[in-house]
Amino acid sequence: MPITVRPLSHALGAEIQGVDLARSLSNAEFDQIHRTFLEKGILLFRDQKITREQHIAFSRRFGELDRHDSLPRDRHPDHPELLLVTNVPEEGGKESASKYTGQQWHSDMSFTLEPSLGSLLRGIAIPPVGGDTMFTNMYLAYDTLSDGMKKMIEPLYAIHTGRRKVTDPNTAREREQTRINPPIAQPIVRVHPETGRKALYIGEKVSCLVDMTPEESKPLIDYLVKHATRPQFCYRHQWKQDDIILWDNRCTMHIALGDYADGETRHLERTTVKGTPSGYYLQ
Ligand SMILES: O=C(O)CCC(=O)C(=O)O
Q: What's the CATH code of the domain at 193?
A: 3.60.130.10
Q: What is the mean pLDDT of residues 209-231?
A: 97
What is the distance in A from the centroid of ligand 1 to the CA of 103? 7
Residue 192: give the domain boundaries: 4-278
- For the cut 80, the answer to whether the pLDDT of residue 81 exceeds it is yes
Q: How many domains does the structure of the chain reveal?
A: 1
For β-strands 14-17 and 42-45, DSSP reports them as: parallel
Mean pLDDT of 64-92: 94
Measure 211 CA to ligand 1 centroid, in angstroms: 31
Residue 73 in any domain: the answer is: yes
36 three-state secondary structure: helix
pLDDT-above-90 percentage for the chain: 86
By alpha-carbon position, which residue is closest to atom 2 of ligand 1? 256
In a domain, 166, yes or no: yes
Residue 163 lies in a domain: yes
Distance from C-alpha of 78 to C-alpha of 99, rounded to nearest angstrom = 20
Pocket residue to mutate for ligand 1, from 88, 108, 111, 121, most atoms within 8 A of Cβ: 121
Do the domain assignments include residue 283?
Answer: no
Give the integer Cα–Cα distance in Å for 123 and 120.
10
The C-alpha atoms of residue 131 and residue 267 are separated, in whole angstroms, by: 10
Question: Which residues are registered as beta bridge partners of 254?
Answer: 106, 135
114-142 pLDDT tens trace: 999 999 999 999 999 999 999 999 999 99
Q: Which long-range contacts (CB under 8 A, 24 or more apart) does 151-157 make?
A: 153/188, 153/189, 153/220, 153/224, 154/188, 154/189, 156/187, 156/188, 156/189, 156/209, 156/210, 157/185, 157/186, 157/187, 157/188, 157/209, 157/210, 157/279
Query: How many other β-carbons are positioned within 10 Å of the β-carbon of residue 96?
Result: 19
- Distance from the alpha carbon of residue 102 to the mean position of ligand 1, in angstroms: 4
Pocket of ligand 1 (CB under 6 A): 85, 101-102, 108, 119, 121, 133, 254, 256, 268, 270
Task: Tell me, yes or no, whether 36 lies in a domain.
Answer: yes
What is the torsional sign of CA 170, 175, 181, 184?
positive
CA of 101 to the centre of ligand 1 (A): 6
Taking the CA of residue 121 as reference, the ligand 1 atom at the shortest distance is: 9
- pLDDT tens column, 221-280: 999 999 999 999 999 999 999 999 999 999 999 999 999 999 999 999 999 999 999 999
Quick one: pLDDT at residue 164? 64
Q: How far apart are the first and last CA of the chain?
A: 54
Q: Per-residue pLDDT for 165 more than 70?
A: no
**Residue 221, C-beta contacts closer than 8 angstroms, at least 6 positions apart:** 158, 202, 206, 208, 209
Sign of CA dihedral 240, 241, 245, 249: positive
